[in-house]
Amino acid sequence: MRKLLHTALGILTSVGGFLEIGSVVTAMQAGAEFGYRLLWVVALGTAAAISLTEMSGRFAAASQRAFGDALRERLGFPVYAAVLLGLGVTSLLVLGAEITGLAVALELASGVTFPPWGLPAGLLVWLILWKGKFGVIEYGVSTLGLVTLAFVASAIRLHPAAGELLAGLVPTAPPAQPARYWFLAVSILGATITPYLFYFYSSGAIEDRWDARLIGTNRMVATVGMGFGGTLSAAVLVTAALALPGTRIEQYRQLPLALSGVFGRAGFWLFVVSLWIGCLGAALEITLALAYLLAQGLGWRWGEDLPPREAARFVLGYCAIVLAGTVFAVAGTDALVLTNLAMALSSAVLPLALAPLFLFMNDRRFLGRHRNGWLANGAMLAIVLMALVLFAVSIPLAITGS
């Protein structure tokens, strides 16, 4: 039972990483425009997410340190500041996309034009952080996130051909529009292995008081949680491929068509609720991840379970972060444009976020006998090399393929 409860952290992380507006939009665009051809990217991103999540949880459990603490202690303030700046700028864009996604969900549900919904969306995120404990967020969002299984149900109901699905897991060149194809591939990877996920997961493990006895459980949590998210993302792509073939998704009002074409009016509401809970989970994760990183590196007292007056600077940090993210929604920023830009930039900063993790996972003083072996280092090296490729191509592809 204890292991099942710990799994909530992995599911919460995957809901905010796989079924938020970035993953929904990119997976749906990929399926509608290229069928199953980009399923291999979802599988690759999921495998990378499982590996990185396992490492970040193992680091927290074995070292009893958060990444922000380790960055400042081990690599010095300049490196910590560079990581904070890089992750801060890109994660704020992603947060803006998520709060905008919340506003979009509220607009779809109400029929009222979406800019005014930015304020209550941001207020909701702040209120949950202000009033809620980490356990409430962890178990509440992970439980509500089960509604996103509607995408799995729709994919099954549309009867995809098994042979074609398997063919989609093999990388192939696109028949047309190569720039668009590779832009969506990069965006899917950016949405799947965006750095805030691992910083949040690691700090969440400390909030849950994990120790070295839970390293085996952490492996199960990372695999089940990220596997759950990857399955959902693949189901979104398959649903779009069969329900919206050949469609260029350029407006957020097109997004519910994937489920409403399968389940009718009920599908519309299933999509709205799924988008709402996914964006809410992601907004909470991003805000906490940035607030954790800021407080840890500057030596502030931090923790979602602490009363606000006992962690005042940490609370002030997340208040400012939510406010900054809300500005995008209130300004009426186009949800799809902001999402695609945020996902591409997330890919660009991956090397900056992953290089310290690679060093820490091989540091005997932090991890002792729990440091990486040759297999984990091989996986990590492959992910870092992939991140370097994404860094090189993400911005050019954002210009030519969006």
Summarised one tens digit per residue, pLDDT across range 241-264 is 999 888 888 777 888 888 888 898
Average the pLDDT over 293-301 and give the result. 90
pLDDT of residue 2: 46
Query: Which amino acid does the sequence have at 205?
Result: A
Average the pLDDT over 57-84 and give the result. 86
> 57 and 221 in contact (C-beta within 8 Å)?
yes
Q: How many helices (H) and strands (E) does the chain have?
A: 19, 0
- Residue 254 is given by DSSP the state G
Domain 2-401: CATH superfamily is: Amino acid/polyamine transporter I (1.20.1740.10)
In the block, tokens 């720039």 appear at: 179
User: What is the per-residue pLDDT across 169-224, written as a single tens digit (0 to 9) for each?
Assistant: 988 877 778 888 888 888 888 778 878 888 888 888 888 888 888 888 888 888 88
Residue 212: which residues within 8 A CB-CB, separation 6 or more? 61, 62, 370
> 321 and 287 in contact (C-beta within 8 Å)?
yes
Residue 216: which residues within 8 A CB-CB, separation 6 or more? none
| Whole-number average pLDDT of the chain | 83
Q: Which of 35-44, 79-88, 243-252 has the highest mean pLDDT?
A: 35-44
User: In 3D, which of 360, 341, 355 has the Cα closest to residue 22?
Assistant: 341
Average the pLDDT over 379-396 and give the result. 78
